Amino acid sequence: MAEFPSTLWKDYELLDSGGGEKLERFGAYVLARPEPKALWDKSLPEAEWRRLAHTTFTPGAGFGKAGKEDSGTWNRLRKMDDQWWIRYASEDGLKMDLRLGLTSFKHVGVFPEQAPNWDWIWRQTRAQAAKGRAPRVLNLFAYTGAASLAARSAGAEVTHLDSVRQVVTWARGNMEHSGLDGIRWVVEDAMKFAQREVRRGNRYDGIILDPPAYGHGPDGEKWKLDECLFGLLRAVGQILAPQDAWMVLNLYSNGYSALLGETLVRQAMAVGQVASGELALLDRFDKALPLSIVVRMTR
């Protein structure tokens, strides 16, 4: 089953997709970026794409190589800010501000298809907090922190971990601009941190995992999804509370399916209820663009 961001989110829209690209509006600006999964034809003519877009992205020499899949340069067609803010507001009351910027790796600081995960995390955490205590939530590979803000907004004590100090700083700015505080920031290798928490006997009421296909820790540790994911899930299973707990696993790797992700979770940890599906975007012409798979577990 596919899930899409709510149409009530006014600061984001997928305008069109096709020809290996997607045309997106983030607040006041429209961006055209490569998207290998957009295998169909564009609905709008090329001239309209260029008329609408403030900037396009040209892949660099490393495009398509492991660890450099998204490297390249932005080509501005119209005046726009280097950095700008958008607001996310859900039907359930979740509100947060997210700073965007043009990075050399095609990303802009937010993955909009993740909105259904933010909403789910918000609901799960609110239900836990309503029982009279602040749930402990760990966000691994946390990037610029939208999921961390969702959990914190709902009353959780949040540990936000990423191996890149610059994006942790970016996440802190998002927290402050959203009127929040109190998130614990950790610059660390996710596997090392999880294994250390196992040894310490620490437990979390919610754990979020959004691992990349390839990556490096702050001390040069190598991460390769195929080789490390099952071991990480087993460690996560040991630090997830045995009752009234939840876990979200998001996977972008093209070779993975929802069923594979679900099987990994079931085999790695003593599970409760497990559900899996796809996170996708829907453009103005009703073309569904699937971008990641998600596995959610509650116990």
According to the model, what pLDDT value does residue 144 have? 97
What distance in Å separates the CA atoms of residue 120 and residue 65, rounded to the nearest whole number? 34
User: Nearest Cα to 43, choosing from 19, 24, 12?
Assistant: 19
Q: What would the pLDDT profile of 168-203 be if each residue is shown by its tens digit?
A: 999 999 999 999 999 999 999 999 999 999 999 999
Q: Chain-wide mean pLDDT for the chain?
A: 93
What distance in Å separates the CA atoms of residue 33 and residue 235, rounded to the nearest whole number? 36
At position 204, the amino acid (one-letter code) is Y
pLDDT (mean) for 199-222: 87
pTM: 0.93
**Local structure of residue 20 (DSSP, 8 states):** T
User: Nearest Cα to 263, choosing from 76, 244, 271, 208?
Assistant: 271
Asked whether 5 and 12 are in contact (CB, 8 A), the reply is: yes
Q: How far is CA 117 from CA 60, 90, 108, in A?
A: 31, 11, 18
267 — pLDDT class (breaks 50, 70, 90): very high
Asked whether 262 and 276 are in contact (CB, 8 A), the reply is: yes
According to the model, what pLDDT value does residue 272 have? 84
61 — pLDDT class (breaks 50, 70, 90): low
244 — pLDDT class (breaks 50, 70, 90): very high
According to the model, what pLDDT value does residue 65 have? 54
User: Nearest Cα to 174, choosing from 106, 248, 86, 82?
Assistant: 86
pLDDT (mean) for 204-226: 84
**Is residue 32 predicted with pLDDT exceeding 60?**
yes
pLDDT (mean) for 160-167: 96
**At how many degrees (to 10) do helices 165-177 and 146-153 cross?**
40
According to the model, what pLDDT value does residue 220 have? 73
Strand 95-101 to 2-3 pairing: unpaired
Q: What would the pLDDT profile of 67-97 be if each residue is shown by its tens digit?
A: 555 679 999 999 999 999 999 999 889 999 9
pLDDT (mean) for 115-122: 98
According to the model, what pLDDT value does residue 149 have? 98
**Is residue 2 predicted with pLDDT exceeding 70?**
yes
Percent of the chain with pLDDT strictly greater than 90: 84
Domains and CATH numbers, the chain: 2-86 (2.60.40.1180), 110-298 (3.40.50.150)
According to the model, what pLDDT value does residue 13 have? 98
According to the model, what pLDDT value does residue 226 have? 83
User: Nearest Cα to 111, choosing from 298, 294, 295, 299?
Assistant: 294
pLDDT (mean) for 267-272: 87
According to the model, what pLDDT value does residue 214 have? 76
62 — pLDDT class (breaks 50, 70, 90): low
